[in-house]
Amino acid sequence: MSMTMTQKILAHHAGLDKVVPGQLIKAKLDLVLGNDVTTPVAVKEFKKIGLDKVFDVNKIAIVPDHFTPNKDIKSAEQCKYIREFAREMKIVNYFEIGQMGIEHALIPEKGLVVPGDVVIGADSHTCTYGALGAFSTGIGSTDMAAGMATGEAWFKVPEAIKFELKGKLNKWVCGKDVILHIIGMIGVDGALYKSMEFMGEGVMALSMDDRFSMANMAIEAGAKNGIFEVDDKTLAYVKEHSTKEYKIYTADPDAQYAATYVIDLSQIKPTVAFPHLPENTRTIDEVGEVKIDQVVIGSCTNGRIEDLRAAASILKSKQVDPHVRTIIFPATQKIYLQAMEEGLLKIFVEAGAVVSTPTCGPCLGGHMGILAKGERAVATTNRNFVGRMGHPESEVYLASPAVAAASAIAGKIVSPEEVI
C-alpha cells in the first residue's frame, strides 16, 4: 500500500509494514521535549507513576525558555522544580541560562533531531523539526510524562495535504511569507489533524531557516505536523550538527492526499497577518496605513541567523522611529554569538533597538515586551490571537523580519523597499 512521508515514519516506529489514515498506533519515540511551562505538570504526572528513572536519559530534552531568565517567583519555582528533576533523573539534555535557547531553534542546533525521527514535545510548535524530514508534533504534559516513562506514544495516523513547491523566492520574501500565504489560503483549520507535506523542485530554493519557519507554523493551519522532503541542504545541516544515524523517507508516487496545492514561490509577496488570526493575511501592498508601537524580531519562528541578517541589512545606518520600541531576540546563544561576531548586534543597538538574551518572553505575552491597551506590534512570532502579547485590546501583526525591521524605521507597516 502506498504511503506518505509521515505515514512511512510512523509505520516504521510502530513496527508495522503499513498504516492507513485514522489508524491508532503505538510508536517508539526518538525524543521527548518539554519547557519550563509544560514540564512541571509532566513531572508531577511522572511521579504519580512511581518510577525512579526515565526510559532513556539521552532521549529527553528539557529547555526552560518561556519565562527565563526567571521573571518572577512562580517561574523561578517552576524552573527549580524541573532542574532538580533533571538532575535526579540524570537527564543529559537539560539546557538553561548560558546554554539555552528557544527550544525549537536549540534542538536542531544541538543535533538532537535527524531525518526519520519521531519527536513529541509539550509545546505546540514542536512541529518545527519537520524541516529536517522528521515527524514531530506537540502533545500535552500528560503525554510527555508517559513518553518519559515508556519511550512510546499513541497516535492516530493523519491524512496528508501535499504542497508542491516550484520557482524561487523574490528579494525580501522568505519562508515566513510563504507559510503566511498558505495559511491565508487554507485557513487556520485548513489542515486540521493532517500532515502538511512540502515537496517539489521549489524546496531546494528554500534555505533551512526558511523551512524551519514554515514547519514551525504548520500548527497554525491546524496540522498535526509539517514535513519537508530531505535533500542535500537537509543532509548538509544534519552532518554539521549531528552524529546520530538517520533514515530518509520519501512519499510513494501514488500516495493518497486529502488535497494538493501547487505553490509558485516566485508569485509570493511579503505578507502580513492582521489581528486576530494568522489566516487574516494581506500582501504588503494591501496593508494600508497601520501605525505601530512595538516591533519584536525573534522567536522560534524567526530568530535564526538569516532572520537577524535580513533585519540588519535594513536597519544598518538607519534609526528606528523613536515611538517604536524595537526588541530583538536571537533564538539561541550560538546565534547570539554569531550575530555579535558578524556585527549585527552593533547595527541593532546603533539603530535604537534593544537586544535580549534568548527567551520566548513577548511571544506569549510572558515578559520583556508586553503590550498595553490599544497598542499595536509587528512581530515575527507565530500567533496573533486576542491578548497574545499583552492586553486583550492590543493588536499583533505577524510579518517577516524584513517587513518588521522596515516597519520599525517607518513607524508603520511598510515594505522593505520603502526604507532602503
The beta-strand segments (E) located in 247-374 are: 259-264, 271-273, 281-283, 294-297, 325-328, 354-355
Domain count along the chain: 3
The pLDDT tens digits for 191-207 are: 999 999 999 999 999 99
Nearest to 258 by CA among 215, 221, 232: 221
Per-residue confidence (pLDDT) for residue 160, from 0 to 100: 98
Same domain, 347 and 407: yes
Over pLDDT 70: what percentage of the chain?
A: 100
Interior CA angle at 365 toward 364 and 367, to 5°? 110
> Is 19 among the domain residues?
no
Same domain, 277 and 407: yes
Same domain, 284 and 263: no
> Is 82 among the domain residues?
yes
The pLDDT tens digits for 95-122 are: 998 888 999 999 999 999 999 999 999 9
Nearest to 136 by CA among 122, 118, 154, 159: 118
> Is 134 among the domain residues?
yes
Q: How far is CA 220 from CA 100, 114, 168, 382, in A?
A: 25, 23, 24, 8
Same domain, 65 and 126: yes
Which residue, of 97, 131, 156, is where some domain finishes? 156
The pLDDT tens digits for 53-104 are: 999 999 999 999 999 888 999 999 999 999 999 999 999 999 998 888 999 9
Cell numbers placing 392: 486583550
Helix axes 305-315, 333-341, angle to 10 degrees: 40
Same domain, 280 and 152: no
> Is 14 among the domain residues?
no
Average pLDDT over the chain, rounded to an integer: 96
**DSSP string spanning 66-113?**
SSTTT-SHHHHHHHHHHHHHHHHHT-SEE--TTT-B-HHHHHHHTT--
Same domain, 317 and 378: yes
Same domain, 163 and 151: no
**H helix or E strand, kind and range, residue 208:** helix 208-216
Same domain, 169 and 192: yes
Same domain, 150 and 163: no
**H helix or E strand, kind and range, residue 214:** helix 208-216
Per-residue confidence (pLDDT) for residue 68, from 0 to 100: 84
CATH number for the domain including 50? 3.30.499.10
Per-residue confidence (pLDDT) for residue 190, from 0 to 100: 96
> Is 109 among the domain residues?
yes
Same domain, 216 and 332: no
Q: Is the pTM of this model over 0.75?
A: yes
Would you call the peptide bond into 69 cis, given omega within 30 degrees of 0 as the criterion?
Answer: yes
Give the structural domain span for 102. 24-156
Average pLDDT over residues 121-128: 97
The pLDDT tens digits for 243-273 are: 999 999 999 999 999 999 999 999 999 999 9
